[in-house]
Structures are given as structure tokens and as C-alpha cells.
Amino acid sequence: MSEFNCEVSSLGECRITSPITGIQFVNEDEHVLYHSDLNEIESLLAEGRKPPLFEMAGPREKIFFDPSKLKCGIVTCGGLCPGINDVIRAIIMSLFYHYGVKTVFGFRYGYEGLSSKYRHTPMELTPDVVNGIHQMGGTILASSRGPQDIADMVDTLERMNIGILFTIGGDGTLRGAQAIADEAKRRGLKIAVIGVPKTIDNDISCIQQSFGFDTAVTESRPSLYAAHTEAVGARNGIGLVKLMGRESGFIAAFATLADSEVNFCMIPEVRFTLEVFLKDLRERLERRGHALILVGEGAGQDLMEKIHGRDASGNIRFGDIGIFLRDQINAYFGKAGIEVNLKYIDPSYTIRSMPANARDSAFCLLLGHNAVHAGMAGRTDMVIGFWKNEFTHLPISLAVSRRKKIEPNSRLWSNVLACTGQPREMF
């Protein structure tokens, strides 16, 4: 990762004095180190290479756009996630009250809202319109999945004289934003495209944490509590909970650490053996009389019959590991003549539709503010990152270069295993 390009694109020189007063500005030479290990930094320097640096996010003294003439747009794409409305509200409030921008459009139903084919009427967003939406789950702009014609979307932006487009979404949304920025650049248009990373799975590369993740872990606890209560309340009771996490098991891992009652945690990054798991589960029941199992949705896909096809975003359709494990557990103990009482809970859609908790709300506010500061300073083709507890500017190309995952040899996974006590031989 030492060779990656952290440079963020700009529309041009910033010559307009920012209207913001009474705030700490960020200097252009302020950066955040990618590496935290001193040995890695010294090794790079010894080789004559500069350690990777992220541009620090925040307000600049000089800005690119004239606020009195600027029009902006916001779009939300992909699945729901706690905090989307918080980000929308933060962007609107910053544009209006920090910079004096008075015209902001919300494009409905994701990138469909920028397509002439669907004829969705944009919402005009003002502080009055977004008042109170941070207390609601979902997105007031609605969402959709799937790509749209890039040239057609840029036509819409050009026709409406949009200077900054804020895109709130995950991997697919950011790739679309990158394509829009590329097309605008090809046409010579001064349109800034700023991404705000949205993924409940916390799986975007070079971003320490994405909004909604903290809420997802917090909201998983009632389901784990219920499953554990059901398990201890019955002879050979088993509680089985499935949480979101297609390719990255961060929600399952942190939910396990937050609720130390979990006895087995399975994540997509670490394959497990069904035979060994069932044997260990049987030993657990013989020893303790109950068990609590937590599984990420992308775990164990190699154990199931392959599911063909993709969704509108191009994601491979996964088999349901929760249902699979439920049936396998019941079949195994039934064949052994052992009665078990299994309760299966899948709270995924309940969790992702919840309003953001206090920590996520504060995080969303700062993400929205920093997105506005970046756009006003003429940055483009970038996403607002968060690294080493600092907000950063991150090229979209770097954010989508690979998916962030839990390393099986990491301290995080080691801590999960220490918490559950599950045997390493399962994996």
C-alpha cells in the first residue's frame, strides 16, 4: 500500500475569500499519515520514498466557487443505512449558513434522479425542509440501485447549472461518481463531485469507519440479548443471529465484543468447517446446556449450493447462511437423536432502517460539513475519509481500489476468538 496515489483532483486555483468567520482553517500543507508503524515509515524513508499522506479535510481560507452564484445537488444511492438523513441535513445547513449558498436540489431515487428517462422531479432543499430529518431513519430523497447513463446524468447537471454534486453511497455509488467526474472533466465543465462514504458494513478502503456502523453494532444488541435469553431458557437452547456483512465481518466482530455472551462468531473473511463447528456446538451444549451463535451474512458461502445472478448494483446474490445453518443444526441433532431448541433471528432490515445514534449523528454532521468544505474549495473526484481519527480527502480511485476486510491474523480477530472461546480448529 506504500505506492498508492493519495493526490486529490482540483478544479483550479482558489481565489475567493471564504465567508466563514470564527473557525479554524486548514492549511494546504496539513496531512494525515497513512502508516502508524514507525518501522514502516523509517523503511520507506530509507528507500528514498515518501510515506503516503492523506490531505487533511476542513475549511479553506480561499475557495473556488462564488457562493452567490452556486447551485448544488445531492443524491443518495444503494441500501439504507442509519445516518443518511443526518448527512443530508449537515450538507444543507453548511451550504446555507457557512457559505450562503441558497439553491440546493435533492435528486430522487438515487442516480435515477439524474436520468432524463425517469423524469423524477428534484426536491428543492432548504433548512426548513430538512429540519428534524436527522431524527428519522432512511433517506428523504429515497434511493435506488444500478447504473445510469453517465452522459445523460452529466447533461442534467449541465442543464441545471449544478456546480457541486454530493453523492452519498457505497462502492457502486462512488464508482458512478468517479465516472461523472471524468465525464465532466472531459467536457471541460467545472463540476465538483464529492462522495460521502455510506456502507453499514464498514468496508471502504482507507477509511477507518463509515457512518451507520456504530449504530448497527449498537442495534444488534437487542437481538443478541433475545437470542441468548431464549437459549438459556430452554434445554439445549440455541440462539442463532445473522447480521449484515457481505464480504467484511466488522459488524459481527464488534457485536461479539460488545456482547460477550456470543459463543461462536463466523465472518466472511474466515472459512469454517461445518463438521467441526457442529461437533464443537454439540460439545458446548453437553458442557453448558445452551449456545449463542452469531454469523455475518457473507460467511460460509462455500458451504452452500452456488447461487447464480446479481442484483441491480452488480453484487453477487448470496445464499442465506442463517437459514442454512439453522437447517444444518436441526438436521445434525435430529439425526443424533438429541432434542435442541433453536431460535433464529435476522434483524438486518430493522437495524439498517434505524435513526443514527448519538455518536453516528455527530460523525455524520462532521462528514457533511467536510464534504461541503471540500466542494467549495474546488476538490473533485474524491470522497471524505476518516483516518487516525482525522477527516481526510481521499481520491475515489483509492477508496474503491479494494474492499476493507478483517485480516484473519489481526489483533481484532484474535480478540474475537478470545472473547468467544471458540476453537481455532473450526477454521
* Residues in Cβ contact with 54 at an 8 Å cutoff, skipping those fewer than 6 apart: 6, 31, 32, 33, 34, 206, 385, 387, 392, 393, 394
Are 159 and 61 contained in the same domain?
yes
Say if 420 falls within a structural domain.
no
* Residues in Cβ contact with 344 at an 8 Å cutoff, skipping those fewer than 6 apart: 240, 241, 242, 322, 323, 326
Last residue of a domain, one of 291, 319, 352: 352
Say if 416 falls within a structural domain.
no
pLDDT at site 8: 96
Are 204 and 128 contained in the same domain?
yes
pLDDT at site 37: 78
pLDDT at site 156: 98
Other Cβ atoms within 10 Å of 50 Cβ, number: 8
Are 347 and 360 contained in the same domain?
no
Are 201 and 224 contained in the same domain?
no
Are 76 and 223 contained in the same domain?
no
pLDDT at site 51: 86
Distance CA 371, CA 325 (A): 42
pLDDT at site 346: 97
- 259 catalytic? Reply is no
> For the chain, which residues score pLDDT lower than 70?
1-3, 306-315
Are 184 and 230 contained in the same domain?
no
Q: What is the CATH number of the domain that holds 266?
A: 3.40.50.460
Residue with cell 435506488: 144
Strand spans (E) along 143-280 = 164-169, 192-197, 237-243, 264-266
pLDDT at site 2: 43
Distance CA 34, CA 196 (A): 19
Q: Domain span at residue 264?
A: 216-352
Say if 94 falls within a structural domain.
yes
Q: Point out the catalytic residue in the list 86, 201, 259, 360.
A: 201
Are 100 and 162 contained in the same domain?
yes
pLDDT at site 311: 62
Are 28 and 176 contained in the same domain?
yes
Total count of domains within the chain: 2
